[in-house]
Structure 1
Amino acid sequence: MVTLLLDSTQLEVVLSATERALAFRSDDVRIARSSIRTVQLTDDAWTWLRGVRARGSHVPGVLAMGTWKAAGGSDFVLVRRRQPAVVIDLDGDAEFQRVVLTTRHGTALQQALRLEVEAEDELADVVDLATGAIQTHPTPTQPEG
């Protein structure tokens, strides 16, 4: 299972050695926080796959890991069986348009993205952020009008 780390500037998807090998990827996935447009929870990540596998591993219904190419760009996919997942739509990211991950921490990710991390230099686990184990400030909301 991937580890999701967040600070004031980026979300980092930390991959295990096995996940790196199956995704044919040498480093973790780093996403600028400013490029995250939406975060959606889903019970069936398989319906969110689009395009064809460009680099990675795919066993239908069992696992999909790596880069998927579609008409509009590339997606990073890390899906296992029929587990809960999170779909992160990106705007302006240089590498991906969407990230689809099976994780039981999707709700914690949504909550953590609404917070401002006080320690700007250190990445923190999204579960710790969402549960209040790490000092945060609510993100100011924009007035309507």
Structure 2
Amino acid sequence: MVASAWAALWLREGGLTFHLTELLVMYGLGGMLAWPLAVFLARFATLGRPAETRFAAYLLCLSLGTIAVTAMLFALDYRVFYARWHADTGTRTWLYQFAFTSLVAFYQFLVLGVRLYLPVGGAALLAVSLWLASAQPRQQR
């Protein structure tokens, strides 16, 4: 995911961004933290299934998991930045501010951040899903 984000930024902007290192760390952490959970869910969902089903499950779980975890990391980063203007922790106002800040950060990542997974991330996702689906043996019923 780091290579995908770097390649997308390099292709679109020549790698000229103020926070290149922070962005690459965020995308790398998102991919690393999503991997174990996504692989576990896909394997659990496809026990005893054919390779096509395993491929689809890996494709779905890895893509949604990586996007969700990375978006959560962006939402936490937004929360840290905007915390100084939010109400006291634990109040109803703070809860609304926390919820809407997180939702806006998640939405903004979906609109602006997901495109950094292309073109390299899509190809890597297909290759890894195919590899994982073929590596997991089909169990007998």
Q: TM-score, normalised by structure 2?
A: 0.29
Bigger fraction of residues in helix: 2
- By relative contact order (CA 8 Å, sep 6+), the higher-ranking structure is 2
Larger Cα Rg: Structure 1 or Structure 2? 2
